[in-house]
Amino acid sequence: GAVVSQHPSWVICKSGTSVKIECRSLDFQATTMFWYRQFPKQSLMLMATSNEGSKATYEQGVEKDKFLINHASLTLSTLTVTSAHPEDSSFYICSARPYSNQPQHFGDGTRLSIL
Amino acid sequence: DAKTTQPNSMESNEEEPVHLPCNHSTISGTDYIHWYRQLPSQGPEYVIHGLTSNVNNRMASLAIAEDRKSSTLILHRATLRDAAVYYCIRTSYGKLTFGQGTILTVHP
């Protein structure tokens, strides 16, 4: 089956640090990748949609200057949380799909803790 | 707005079938119905999806009502590993809007 790898699995860092999370589709080319955030006891919330070679589309209320997304190839998208603060601590999850209306395949998530 | 309605929780016994309902009364003609499940501290896992006809795969079956306003995910023989949060999502253009889902508990 389709495999999406997300790295790192968890990261703890000091307030003010920028953190980069990678999302790779290992056995298929992903024209579109998605980034979600999930707070404890809550459901996933879509942050942005990333299409290869173009700018990401951010959901309402998500700061594009804070959450930088790069989708430079058909198998890799990155999310950089710039100048992270404790309120950015969350579970970040990416997904990828080869074509529209095909299922999304999710990574195992990155748990980000900002001290 | 997830635009689907699911029970908050359901329980089942191991080896028994489980029927997880979902209402999507405002579904449009182009919306697909997707089901995903999520175990604690993991990303969601794709289960099944369909448009109009019933669908079967190795994990589950999806029964879609004739008017498409509801659907049922069927796990034919529940195992302990099926305990998870199950999300029913209607989607057009591929964007997934997750609701609260149904927490499935499987008893040994």
A91 residue type, one letter: F
For residue A109, the SS3 value is coil
Distance CA(B3)–CA(B36), nearest Å, equals 15
B91 to chain A: which residues are within 8 Å by CB? 101
Report whether pLDDT(A1) > 70: no
Give the residue-averaged pLDDT of B50-74.
95
Which neighbouring-strand residues pair with A10?
A111
Q: Is the pLDDT of residue B2 over 70?
A: no
Q: To which residue do tokens 């979600």 refer?
A: A36
Residues of chain B contacting residue A46, judged by C-beta atoms under 8 Å apart: 95-98
Q: What is the pLDDT of residues B72-104, one digit of tens each?
A: 999 999 999 999 999 999 887 778 889 999 999
User: Which pLDDT belongs to residue B28?
Assistant: 85
Share of chain A above pLDDT 70, in %: 98
- Residue B44 has its nearest CB partner, among A44, A45, A46, at A44
For residue B93, give the nearest of A100, A105, A107 by CB distance. A100
**Residue B8 in contact with partner chain A when CB distance is under 8 A:** no
Angle at A79 between CA A4 and CA A114, to 5 degrees: 110
Whether the pLDDT of residue B1 is over 70: the answer is no
- A6 interfaces chain B, CB cutoff of 8 Å: yes
Does A62 touch chain B if contact means CB atoms closer than 8 Å?
no
Phi, psi (rounded to 5 degrees) for B35:
-125, 130
pLDDT tens-digit series, residues A46-96: 999 998 888 899 999 999 999 999 988 999 999 999 999 999 999 999 999
